[in-house]
Structure 1
Amino acid sequence: MPTYKIRGINVEFPFEAYECQIVYMEKVIQSLQEKSNALLESPTGTGKTLCLLCATLAWRKSLGGFSTGRRAGAKHSEGLLSQSQEESSSLPTIIYTSRTHSQIRQVVQELKRTVYRPKMVVLGSREQLCIHPDVSLLHGKTQTNACHFLCHKRTKRHCTHFPRVSEFVKSNPSLGDEPIDIEDLVNIGKNNGPCPYYMSRELHKVVDILFAPYNYLIDPGNRKSLTIEWKNSILIFDEAHNLESICAEAASFDLPSALLTSCISEAQNCVDIAVSRRDNLNDKTYNPDNFAILRALLLKLEKRISEVPIESKEMGFTKPGEYIYELLEELNITRKTATMLQDTVEDAITLLEEDAKASDSQKTKGTVCRLESIGDILKIIFKENGNAHAKNYRVHIQEVEVNSHDTVKAKKSRIFSWWCFNPGVAMEEFAKKDVGSIILTSGTLSPMDSFAEELKLKFPIRLENPHVISDNQLWAGIVPAGPSGHPFNSSYRTRDTADYKLSLGNSIVNFARIVPDGLLVFFPSYYLLNLCIDYWKNMNGTSTNSSTIWERICKHKLPVVEPKQSSLFPQAIDDYMAKLRDPSINGAVFFAVCRGKVSEGLDFADQAGRAVIVTGIPFALWNDPKVRLKREFLDQQKQSQRTGPKVLTGDEWYSQQASRAVNQAVGRVIRHRHDHGAIIFCDERFTKPNHQSQISRWIQPHIKCYSNFGDVVFTLTRFFRNAAINCPTRQLTQVQEPGVKSSLGKFDPDKFLKPLVDESHSIESSFFAEVKRGSIFKQPQEILPANRSNLCFNNQKQSSSLKCTNDRVLEEKLIRRNEVVDLTKESCSQLTAPYFVKKRKLVDDKHKLLQRCDKSCSGPVESLPQGKLSSAQGFSSMQVKTETSLQTRTSQVVSSETRSGVSSCSTSGDEEKKGSNFLIQVREKLSDGEYNEFVGFMKALKSKAMKIGQVLQSIVKIFSAPDRLSLRQRFKDYVPAKYHSLYEYYLAETDDSPVDL
């Protein structure tokens, strides 16, 4: 395993690191050594998580040994800790957070790939970890209260798992020494009895690294429950691109009238239950008067909200954040009474749960208590440190349309909100705790200035990493106008016009034809998505074409539309994947929206996403109350600040939020080292420097602006043709992951399409990796090209390449003259789809045997020097210059291959024996390393994992030593006949110049 010395720290990495990975790890270690905060952006596929883990754990290891073997529950006073364990207990704890549990699961899998084995644990909620048959069915505060009740109850109904935790962790000191996940904790609990939830809580006190979702740090209640030495601790926020919005939302609340009405109803239920218990059972545990007071206060609040004058439905009612204390004080809700109200709410939740269990009602089992929201709201308003945070808030009351389908009828449909416009309110708590470093990382943090300014933290260490891909793996272009020349602009001034929708539709028809396999099309909003699709379904776009635009799109790719309802999304994903796997069609197109589920966290690797089209800049609705107030809040801060750090203006924030949504969407296309794809920006506003500068740094060098649509079609077509030759493409297969029964089972968005990504591709090419692992083919028929069988006459496998190549020549002629044509018109029969997009058809021609249109031969041939091509034997037949010479040369190749095919028929036994003898001699002449390399090249030649020219050139070099020249000549027998000329060219080239071995 390679070891890299970075800033004095020895970092062991699972494989040979790329330059960008070393730079990333250097920034991580710099942040840790200098106790500085860091913003680190590195595109998906660059091994970001692995770099983060290795660098952080290597730094931590340099300070002292890990806490492996340290027993949870052991204390210094008990004399049970060794000196090394005492030292490790005083070292900083690493807290690694991500957005979801499924993302944490992937991080733990990455940890298993490293050599580092710190003491670790994953924290989860009771919903993930509880194994009690009844409590596991509950949710939220109801579940928490039921858990507390059963854990401390000394009756037959008490929880049997909780008491076993302490003894189990003490008798298993190695627990957490190896990477364990939530599923592992649950299995331990089910097999051995201890509660997984409290087991993780016990373990987290002694770990070196703790994994948890964001809310364990951002939510004050969860944060308070952690027994961690915060001073000098390391906080890592992975997938942090949404952190600012998550922080702001966690500190805000919305109280709709319908929810408030439900809370009043629950408070009345509590009064009735408490009175019934007192009168019938003489149970005075709960005082009904307290619930009556709670109900009365909620009724007053409902009345007060309904009386607020709202002059404009669009503007609503807005006041500064401090106004909320004035409003509540009118209802006698102050900091002093709020504490008593919170206690009453807690009692109400417990009482309702007890009553539900006593009634044994399946209808009420597992339901969420609405009163829980009132307790959460009081905690947000009345924080421990006073009311100073209110300056970052705005009070807003708005009227909304009543949903007739609601089961709960509100008296007035209003929403009472207290919105936080400073995400730094949540993050400043960590600064007060004197943590060592805060590292925020993601594939899309750009633009970084707004990100740092929003969180109100200093981030002196920043990185915008490039990608590890080559230039020929990404096409990125700005397309300001469509085929007709009408400009693309999705702003509200032009998006409703027929010309815009027509031009966009015709462009997507062309892109659907050019792009192979999966195509993603992102709209700024659901409104524009539905507007365009409705238009395309009813308009044909041309006077001579009877098909609608939608029908013409379907002719090339079957469409799937992202649904607004979350419950329908899994089926949409399954539908998209089914279409991609259907061999009878040319792929699928997924119409989606920026900031939607498709744009967030899903892996559209390889064929699942060969191109992304962004149809506009997804600015938020400017008249949305929250957006409007946020812009006003920032502008007021800007005006009031004369000195100090830079503050964003409302317009800057508004623009950068849209750019970040674009970066998230376009990040779907390149998902690993060997992936390739295109990013198409269909809006003229992207030509402006201020918008281009906010696109992710790794994309910017690839972006080109095109003045006409013809250039776009030509360069994009050429890109995918070259990619089909140079970039190996994996089969699109559904690989089952552990714990996932099928794609139609429980939907996990973070796992979607993950099996389609070959993780080894982010390290090195697959055949080299297998050679290094020793997983290589041993039989000659498994590594030598099936030359003779490929040349045998087989009517069922012939393909018409002549028409394909003729069409390509004609098409390129038209496009070169900048004749912008709708390549999907029914009348345009002279043009066909690119050869790598069209589905191969079986032809039965009894008179001619046409040459097979082989994708891997054109690349190396066209790249050879012009002068040497003519000297290579038979090479003129492989060049394509004009339509006339094309037909002649094709017939030459056909006749040549036909003769070769007839003359080369021999028994398979003789071929196998001959191949075995050849391999024995190769094995004798080559070293172990050279032989493994040779086998790798053979496998690549057979599977077409590399360009044929690269393979042949490498083989020639391997056999260039004087004692291997006979092997070099004999190897020609195993080269497909159509590549003999190419092989001879490389032989001649090697003979003319010394070979560097």
Structure 2
Amino acid sequence: MDDFDNDGDDALASMLYTDTLSNQNEQPSNVACSKSKDPDLPVYANVEIPDSFPFPFEPYNIQQNFMVDLYRCLEQGKIGIFESPTGTGKSLSLICGALKWLRDLQEKQRKELEALTTDQGNKENIVTTCNKQDNTELDWITEFVQKKEKEEQLKKVISEHVLLKKQESKVKERRSSHHGKAKKRKKMEDEFDDLIKGASKEIQEAFNSEIDKVTNGDASVDGNTLDQDDDLIVQDYKSDEEKHDEKSDDEEEECHITKIYYCSRTHSQLSQFVREVVKSPYGEDTRVVSLGSRQNLCINESVKKLKSISLINDACLDMQKSKSDKRDDTGEGKTKRRKKRPEKCPYYRHEGMDELKEELLLEVKDMEQIIAKGKEMKACPFYGTRYGIPLAEIVALPYNLLLHKATRQACGIKLEGNIVLIDEAHNLLETINNIHSVEVTGSQLLRAHSQLTQYEERYRSRLKAKNLMYIKQILFVLSCLLKVIGGKAGVPGEKQFTGRAETKMCTANDFLFQAKLDNLNLFKILQYCKRSMISRKLNGFVEKYPNAEVTPKEETKTVTGNAGVLSFLREITNPEISQGASPNVTPEVKSAEDVVLRSPLMHIEGFLQALTNADSDGRIVITKQTMLSQSSMKYLLLNPAVHFSDVLSEARSVIVAGGTMQPISEFKDQLFHSAGVHPARLLEYSCGHVIPEDNLLALSLGSGPSGHTLDFTYQSRENRKLLDELGMLIQNVCQVVPGGIVCFFPSYDYLKLVYAQWEATGFTQRIARKKRVFQEPRKSGQVDQVLAEFSACIKKSSTGATSSAMGATNSLTGALLFCVVGGKMSEGINFSDELGRCVIMVGLPYPNIKSPELKEKMDYLNANFKPGEDGRQPGQVHYENLCMKAVNQSIGRAIRHKGDYSSILLLDKRYSRRNVSGKLPSWIVKSLQNMDKFGPAMSSLSRFFASKKVSQLC
């Protein structure tokens, strides 16, 4: 019984790491306690808010308050909803507040971990623990088990501390050598590596060639045993229950570093955030890694020129396999030339990517700098950035990489105990819905069935029985899906007609029953697809045999947000349209560079995966067109909380932030409460603008110059008198407002209608006397050119106005830009200073109420949520919210800094309603004036700009 002698080990083993870090024996009076009796709430350390935060300049009060509430939220492990208008320094407040908390946490952990490794620290904790122990004698077996468990926990903490110090020391060494004049590489671990590094280029190449042969095998040695199609055959599928998740024994040990995952909508926004980190006081000593798609980070020109995301991904994976032509010995003195496979990517070198990782951790780099460094070091930035995740303190990533669980796992993103900051989160619910909604067309089903049938026929004799069984099952599933939309496998799509067009809606279970798939185990089929990589094999098969039978008709498929569930499967992370189309997003005109899907089976797998969701979380939309190829079936996600709950439960704290987060109730009800978040865990922060109150003039107008009511409802908006009234109104505004005017319309079609009417009635010509007219292009590639011309015209006219005062004849006072709500200029574009002296919103951009998908969403909300305090149904509130969120994003394009000023004109009588105006940003509502008549509104507008002109002269 010597093992149970009370020699002090018992007390040492009873010391829990979490108790040591999380609990204080004494609480200062100025410390707020975050401890909760509710078992569902996380318990973290008591909160002592710092009095000041490192900041590039003296922060405004709203910035200081923002950082205080952010610090409290992170320390208490809460879920925060932060609203700070654009131009108030939101990004900098996020950076400085979050990094101040992280540095304090690191310092506290370092001291406590160091105390654990010293005798004095152990003795103090032993005394503390013994005092806490209950006098009741534990059963000796239970005591022994607890002792061993706690000993292991303590050992783990200490070993983690040692590993952490080792990694930090390594980074410091690299950083000091990096900033030194010599800029020499760190010495290799042994003399042999040093010799290789210092050798000639030829020797290095020979050495790398030998390493490649050892690592990848020399196919020429056993060429007589290889077949040119070996890599296309699915491997023996051993067991449905076999686990393949275990980590290999030689996997490098990875220490846990508490980190901040910063997520935003586009790669340009991520780069802007990284540049803000550089400007902050933490810019020199923070380890930041930016993640992106292959399309954004690939530096191999032969791959980049493919343009399509799908082809880039496939080419990248192919170039990791092989290097050159192989010749197979037939054994008869002849050689058979095998199909030439792609040269191995010269940038896919593990040593190079590891060195690139260390370079990226030395100093903060944005996406462009990462690419440049990758080219300089001849190492892949796509994989190099992923290598850097474990040691990074901030990981910047686009929405798709965070919001899709399989993608997170594939990238090595671990949320446990870490912080998640989601910026520009106003459309977070729609983003989650679009990422996890999938649409499959009849054409895709036909192609997948044709390709898989020929694959099975060609390799039947070489496939194992279990592989054949599953391939047959997949073919059966494809046939059943075709029958649902009135099609038949084996018949060309152009020869199949489904009759009249119609749309039906049903639950996933009803759909499976209708398709006669309710008796199949989809989970096993999907598990087979994942482990066997049948989609990848089929892609290779189609690439190798691109004949008419395999690919009957070349076609393109635009991959939108509705195919977002494949962000993991194909790593589709388009930098600028990563969310897909929400009800207020205007579709873009596609070019010939649209994504070409070599084989659509991978896409169909995403649809089958969606069918395994809970029956109540989504619906299936079956759309039949006259031609089978145009018919489709779509999984529509209705409950975004089901795919966000993992993020909320795993992360220590989650912050959703934006310039306009109203209505906040939507986040709380549909996302947080539905995901099981306790109300006490929520923290809200909202602030006004930093501009003086007299720098904003917000007017809602109910009538135009001639007194005609401004009613842009669906029934009235095409009225010719209304269109003429709008033309006169904008013509008058152009007479008064200097610089740039940005005018938003509900849709491209309506803008086209209005512009055609004005062309016929002469309004465009009269407007053009004061403002040069521009229109938002439908193609993304033309946006920058239009913005540049718009800006140049305003700049030229402002200097022309000065010349005009001296006798010149230039009468242009600026430019007018017609934009579309939900288009390419309603988000992410800044119309600051003279670019946006007035923002006009024409009507209210409500989505199509007759849309089957929108109606189903409204019905779902009505069935699952209670009516509001005013008695309105949740579905109706959601409908209004979609409209007002689009309005808020559009009118938020102006006023981007403290010294900026602008006017906002809301043209529709409905803006005077409380349920409409109440959903505008609070800083705008405070200044909003409802004008029934046009005359007083024009007088206010004239006085506003006259006063600004006087103040500028003074």
Scaled by the length of structure 2, the TM-score of the pair is: 0.66
Aligned to 2:483: 303
Output the amino acid matched with 1:348. Answer: L
Pick aligned residue for 1:397 from 617, 622, 637: 622
- In structure 1, the partner of 2:865 is 638
SS of residue paired to 2:865: helix
Contact 1:42 1:466 in 2 (8 A): yes
Structure 1 residue aligned with 2:56 = 14
Matches for 1:346-495 after TM superposition, within 5 Å: 346-354=536-544, 368=595, 370=597, 373-379=600-606, 381-382=608-609, 387-400=612-625, 410-411=627-628, 413-433=630-650, 435-457=651-673, 458=677, 460-495=682-717
Q: CA deviation at 1:168?
A: 5.9
Are residue 135 (structure 1) and residue 303 (structure 2) matched? yes
- SS of 2:843's equivalent in the other structure is coil
In structure 2, the CA distance between the partners of 1:56 and 1:587, relative to structure 1 (3 Å rule), is: same
Matched, 1:326 2:513: yes
Distance 1:599 1:431 in 2: 30
- Supply the distance in 2 between the matched residues of 1:86 and 1:528 (Cα, whole angstroms): 62
Aligned counterpart for 2:888 among listed residues 651, 657, 663: 663
Q: 2:261, 2:396 within 8 Å by CA — same for their partners in 1? A: yes
- Where do 1:41-56 residues align within 5 Å? 41-56=83-98
Q: Hey, what does 1:144 align to over in structure 2?
A: 313
Percent sequence identity over matched residues? 26
Which range moved further: 557-566 or 30-39? 557-566
After TM superposition, the structure 1 = structure 2 runs for residues 430-829 of structure 1, keeping only pairs within 5 Å, are 430-433=647-650, 435-457=651-673, 458=677, 460-539=682-761, 548-583=762-797, 584=810, 585-638=812-865, 649-727=874-952
Opposite residue 26 of structure 1, the aligned amino acid is V
* Letter aligned with residue 529 of structure 1: L
Q: CA deviation at 1:363?
A: 13
- Classify the secondary structure of the residue corresponding to 1:64: helix
After superposition, the C-alpha distances for 1:637-677 in whole angstroms (9 at most, x for unaligned) are: 136x999xx99710000011111111011101111221111
**187, 191, 196: which one aligns with 2:381:** 196
The one-letter code matched in structure 2 to 1:334 is L
Alignment of 1:223 onto 2:408? yes
| CA distance in 2 between partners of 1:369 and 1:531 (Å) | 34
The answer to whether the 8 Å contact 2:485/2:623 transfers is no
Greater alpha carbon shift after TM alignment, 692-701 vs 261-270? 261-270
| SS at structure 2 position matched to 1:12 | coil
Letter in 1 for 2:272: Q
Q: How far apart are the structure 1 equivalents of 2:603 and 2:108?
A: 38
> Contact 2:772 / 2:814 at 8 angstroms: preserved in 1?
yes
| Larger deviation, residues 568-577 vs 483-492 | 568-577
Distance of 2:872 and 2:397 partners within structure 1:
32
The answer on whether the counterparts of 1:162 and 1:198 sit within 8 Å (CA) in structure 2 is no
1:113, 1:396 → 2: CA distance? 48
Which residue number in structure 2 is paired with residue 82 of structure 1? 165
8 Å Cα contact 1:259/1:370 also seen in 2: no
Relative to structure 1, the CA distance from residue 65 to residue 369 in structure 2 (aligned partners, 3 Å threshold; closer, same or farther) is: farther
C-alpha distance in 2, partners of 1:145/1:486? 59
Over residues 214-255 of structure 1, what are the superposed CA-to-partner deviations in whole Å (9 max), with x where a residue is unaligned?
111112221112334422210011111121111000110112
Change in 2 beyond 3 A, CA 1:442/1:622: same
Q: 1:213 to 1:393 in 2, by over 3 A?
A: same
Question: What is the match of residue 100 of structure 1?
Answer: 266
What is the CA distance between 1:136 and its match in structure 2? 3.4
| Residue of structure 1 equivalent to 2:589 | none
Structure 2 residue aligned with 1:901 = none
CA apart distance, 1:24: 1.2
Equivalent residues in 2 for 1:190-269, closer than 5 Å: 190-264=375-449, 266-267=451-452
Asked if 2 retains the 8 angstrom alpha-carbon contact of 1:579 and 1:587, the reply is: yes
Aligned to 1:965: none
Q: 2:367 aligns with which of 182, 192, 210?
A: 182
- Relative to 1, partners in 2 of residues 1:399 and 1:366: Cα closer, same or farther, differing over 3 Å? closer
Q: Deviations over 1:82-128 (max 9, x none)?
A: 37949995452210111111111001100011121222211122222
2:70–2:97 CA contact under 8 A, matched in 1: yes
1:647 and 1:36 map into 2 onto residues whose CA distance is 30
Amino acid at match of 2:615: A
| Paired letter, 1:214 | Y
State the Cα distance separating 1:392 from its structure 2 match. Answer: 1.2
- The residue that corresponds to 1:125 in the other structure is 293
**CA gap 1:26/1:78 in 2 versus in 1, 3 angstroms:** closer
User: Structure 1-normalised TM-score?
Assistant: 0.63
Q: Distance in 1 between matches of 2:914 and 2:942?
A: 27
Residue in 1 that maps onto 2:105 = 63
Deviates more, 1:178-187 or 1:208-217: 178-187
Larger radius of gyration: 1
Q: Distance in 1 between matches of 2:788 and 2:350?
A: 41
3-state SS, counterpart of residue 922 of structure 2: coil
Q: 1:82 to 1:496 in 2, by over 3 A?
A: closer
Correspondence for 2:67: 25
The 8 Å contact of residues 485 and 498 in structure 2, kept in 1 or not, is answered as no
Give the Å deviation of 1:45.
0.9
Matching residue's letter, 1:520: V
AA matched with 1:115: P
CA distance in 2, matches of 1:619, 1:363: 34
Q: Alpha carbons of 1:486 and 1:582: their partners in 2 closer, same or farther (altered >3 Å)?
A: same
Aligned match of 1:37: 79
- Are the aligned partners of 2:356 and 2:374 in contact in 1 as well (CA < 8 Å)? no
RCO (CA 8 Å, sep 6+): is it higher in 1 or 2? 2
For residues 124 and 212 of structure 1, the distance between their equivalents in structure 2, rounded to whole angstroms, comes to 7
User: Hey, what does 1:910 align to over in structure 2?
Assistant: none
